[in-house]
Structure 1
């Protein structure tokens, strides 16, 4: 508690006497009702009473909803949220998941294409093909380097290429 608030409370109750339980004696000075022993008991009783009523409502509502479902009746609106969707689906068709109507396309009784609609004409195998890249006349894509002529590429030796170290001393770390 901040010092200013502690000072305020100490001045407010400085002439009061305290009981051995730590509560202020009501006969010695004016004490608000909620600060007395009786007031503290009432506060906690109200709090725990509200918690008990809410818990009891949830428990009884759940049991009541389960009994209605077992009888084949849908749960009432005020406790429908206490029942799972799978349980609601047993008695209310609105909560059922949609049925799967998948038909295998190669089933023996299937005489038609029932997976998708007939493809558009673009996918017709007899339709003319779209234009594609055609290289210029006489060009090849064999060489990775397109800068040299085909005659120069043919003059290179066929065997493995030997690599020699570069001329001069190796670079040092001090030189940029």
Structure 2
């Protein structure tokens, strides 16, 4: 029951099919597609497909242009062969949008049309009298009348006073070691 069984290498129909692919030429077996006839068949198929494709492209474009010249829309199978400009003559979906020109409108300050939700412009950093802008003290973050500019930036050196927040510590300086 579990003896050795012999399996032929190919079924008889497959063997015949494989043998048909070879041709005897000058006493040797050569695959058909490498014979002179096989090469001619291969090139004929290639050139036939290429010529059919070229004819489709050339004749399809000619047919589409003929339909557009007569005022008809091109067919679906050859419409892609035309440019957008050529198709726009019969199909308004392919026309470029018309340019619209309008005068420039001066925006009003604050919110509203033309301002894109921007606030009014802040005052300039320096006024004509070259005074730095001052805090208004409304938000409580800075004291009323405090300046926004560092005194060193103004070019005027502030007067040094021995008292105040930055007075030297009392007593003599510590001894050097």
TM-score by length of 2: 0.51
| Aligned mates of 2:36, 2:118 — CA distance in 1 | 87
Gaps of 5+ in 2: 1-22, 106-111, 124-132, 136-141, 162-177
* Off by >6 Å, runs of 4+ in structure 1: none
CA deviation profile, 1:103-162 (whole Å, cap 9, x unmatched)? 2257xxxxxxxxx9365886579xxx9xx862865767553499x74248xxxxxxxxxx
1:67 offset after TM fit, Å? 0.9
Q: Number of paired residues?
A: 115
Aligned ranges 1:1-176 → 2 under 5 Å:
26-105=25-104, 117=113, 119=115, 123=119, 134=135, 137=145, 141-144=150-153, 149-151=158-160
Paired position in structure 2 for 1:5: none
RMSD between aligned alpha carbons? 3.8
1:32 offset after TM fit, Å? 1.8
Distance 1:118 1:53, change over 3 A: closer
Gaps of 5+ in 1: 1-23, 107-115, 153-176
| Aligned mates of 1:62, 1:82 — CA distance in 2 | 6
Distance 1:150 1:100, change over 3 A: same
| Aligned mates of 1:47, 1:66 — CA distance in 2 | 29
Q: Which has the higher contact order (CA 8 A, sep 6+)?
A: 1
**Which SS does the other structure have where 1:77 is aligned?**
coil
1:70 offset after TM fit, Å? 0.8
Distance 1:133 1:31, change over 3 A: farther
Greater strand proportion: 2
Greater helix proportion: 1
**Which SS does the other structure have where 1:30 is aligned?**
strand
TM-score by length of 1: 0.51
Distance 1:28 1:69, change over 3 A: same
